[in-house]
Amino acid sequence: MRRILAGSALAMACGLVAHSGCVGVGGDGHSDLREEDELVLGLMEDLGYHQDDIELADTRIIVDKDLIFFREKLLNGEYAPVTEVDLESDPTEKGYRHPNAITVNVANIKLAFAAGATTPIKNAFINAAGDINSVANCNVVVSQNNTGPTITVREVAAVNWGTTPCAASEPACTTAPSGGNVSTDIYVKASGIAPGCSAWSNSAMDFAFRHELLHALGFTHVKQAGSIQVFDSAVCSGTATTCADMPGYTTVMKKTLELDSSTCAAQPWIPTILASDDRLTLSILF
Ligand SMILES: [Zn+2]
């Protein structure tokens, strides 16, 4: 997810173009680093990701702004496919994580909070998890009472945001799932979430935390490069670029959280509950 304020889309778009120039940051004379960057990019492309969506940053690989891979895990093969996905699928559509299916104990996913998480953030995540748990014909249960694979929400003060794996411009991100497990960590910036918006509004949290939890369950942005369309879920006929924010249907996996610049509330077209296609996709996958 990325977030922009109304009226700043052009500036952000230019920022993104500038950002993609960061791919291959090893231009510092260290040829071994450059070689590893090339290897990393090659491995990411093997997983289906497009170079334009990848930002290399020290130990991390940031995909499409808010999904975080780690070099060491990638080089160890931990993001490789773990199972053949038993789904009819087309290449490149919305919904589902690249080849790495979430298969482990989805009915017993524990939602945990690292020390320092505040009540509004906690409650918004519990509410978002409840929305996911309410989906009919879906086995996923994400709850603080569970004992299985754990997603830990880490609320981090703005002054320490640089210590997280998230892109500096983003107010939240999720580590990529691996080994059939859900993501282990979701990072949330405690304040200063956008220029002119210090605190999270309720509607911004409602969208963003559903979005990040679905990333943790393997969802991608709409038609993200490398993603696999979940059979029978909605289809976007455009390109990865146009579908990301104009999918033609409502989904919390829309890429960008646009905020009203005066109220900091999510813009009216931003869903604050799971959309029907999100629910359908969950029920098909799980
Ligand atoms: Zn996202």
Evaluate whether 85 touches 99 at the Cβ level (below 8 Å): yes
Largest CA distance in the chain: 55
- Nearest one of 286, 231, 226 to 98, comparing CA atoms: 226
- Kindly give the distance from the C-alpha atom of residue 215 to the centroid of ligand 1, in angstroms, as a whole number: 7
- Nearest one of 185, 217, 213, 169 to 73, comparing CA atoms: 185
Confidence at residue 246, expressed as pLDDT on a 0 to 100 scale: 86
- Kindly give the distance from the C-alpha atom of residue 2 to the centroid of ligand 1, in angstroms, as a whole number: 7
Residue 88 has pLDDT above 50, yes or no: no
Average pLDDT over residues 136-145: 96
Angle between helices 276-285 and 202-216 (to 10 degrees): 20
Average pLDDT over residues 44-69: 87
- Token readout for 5 is 């304020």
- Kindly give the distance from the C-alpha atom of residue 162 to the centroid of ligand 1, in angstroms, as a whole number: 19
- Kindly give the distance from the C-alpha atom of residue 210 to the centroid of ligand 1, in angstroms, as a whole number: 10
Q: Which amino acid is it at 113?
A: F
Q: In DSSP terms, which residues pair with 215 in a beta bridge?
A: none
- Kindly give the distance from the C-alpha atom of residue 84 to the centroid of ligand 1, in angstroms, as a whole number: 24
pLDDT digits (tens, 9 = 90+) for 154-190: 999 999 999 999 999 999 999 998 888 999 999 999 9
- Token readout for 71 is 């070099």
pTM for the whole structure:
0.81
Q: Model confidence at 93, in pLDDT bands (50, 70, 90)?
A: very low
Residue 206 has pLDDT above 90, yes or no: yes
Residue 268 burial class via C-beta count within 10 angstroms: exposed 0-12, middle 13-18, buried 19 and up: exposed
Residue 23 has pLDDT above 50, yes or no: no
How many angstroms separate the CA atoms of 107 and 199, rounded?
33
- Kindly give the distance from the C-alpha atom of residue 29 to the centroid of ligand 1, in angstroms, as a whole number: 33
Confidence at residue 125, expressed as pLDDT on a 0 to 100 scale: 98
Q: Where are the alpha helices (DSSP H) in 153-231?
A: 202-216
- Kindly give the distance from the C-alpha atom of residue 31 to the centroid of ligand 1, in angstroms, as a whole number: 32
Residue 245 has pLDDT above 90, yes or no: no
- Token readout for 14 is 């230019």
**Residue list, CB under 5 A from ion ligand 1:** 1, 66
- Kindly give the distance from the C-alpha atom of residue 255 to the centroid of ligand 1, in angstroms, as a whole number: 6
Higher-confidence residue of 155 and 52: namely 155
Kindly list the structural domains of the chain, giving each domain's residue range(s) and its CATH number in brackets, ordered by start: 2-285 (3.40.390.10)
Q: Model confidence at 267, in pLDDT bands (50, 70, 90)?
A: very high
- Kindly give the distance from the C-alpha atom of residue 211 to the centroid of ligand 1, in angstroms, as a whole number: 6
- Nearest one of 110, 195, 217 to 153, comparing CA atoms: 110
SS3 state of residue 197: strand
| Most confident option among 52-61, 119-128, 213-222, 276-285 | 119-128
